[in-house]
């Protein structure tokens, strides 16, 4: 996937206009740490078959992904946040989300390295 598909470059370049690269790196590091917590909580929601926790954690991660400029992660979370699909289907969504999230973080790191 290309950088423009993964990242909201208008948002991130806007950050770059007012923030140091180091601050943007810290922002990405914080997002990465938080996303691990969100993914763990979403997984727990699946284990507990808890719709409320599923929606709450997807919603939180959706906002964080948008703030970090991770377009495809944000779009995936929009698509699955309010799903009522079977829990096995949700587990599949979680696997896809985790992979997409890691790809987006890697793409963001590459973008940072190129600055």
Domains and CATH numbers, the chain: 3-114 (1.20.120.160)
Tell me the per-residue pLDDT of 83-92, one tens digit each, with 9 for 90 and over.
Answer: 999 999 999 9
pLDDT score at 2: 59
**Quick one: residue 51, left, alpha or beta (phi over 0 = left, psi -120 to 50 = alpha)?**
alpha
The mean of the pLDDT values for the chain is: 95
pLDDT score at 27: 95
Percentage of the chain lying above the pLDDT 90 cut: 94
pLDDT score at 3: 62
Distance CA 90, CA 96 (A): 10
Tell me the per-residue pLDDT of 25-73, one tens digit each, with 9 for 90 and over.
Answer: 999 999 999 999 999 999 999 999 999 999 999 999 999 999 999 999 9
Q: Average pLDDT for residues 100-110, to the nearest whole number? A: 96
């Amino acid at each position: 996937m290309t950088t423009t598909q993964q990242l909201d470059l208008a948002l991130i370049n806007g950050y770059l206009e007012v923030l140091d690269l180091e601050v943007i790196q810290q922002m990405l590091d914080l997002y990465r740490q938080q996303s691990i917590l969100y993914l763990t909580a979403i997984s727990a929601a699946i284990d507990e078959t808890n719709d409320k926790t599923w929606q709450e954690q997807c919603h939180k991660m959706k906002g964080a992904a948008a703030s970090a400029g991770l377009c495809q992660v944000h779009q995936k979370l929009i698509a699955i946040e309010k799903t009522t699909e079977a829990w096995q289907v949700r587990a599949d969504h979680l696997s896809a989300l985790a992979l997409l999230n890691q790809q987006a973080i890697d793409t963001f790191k590459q973008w940072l390295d190129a600055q």
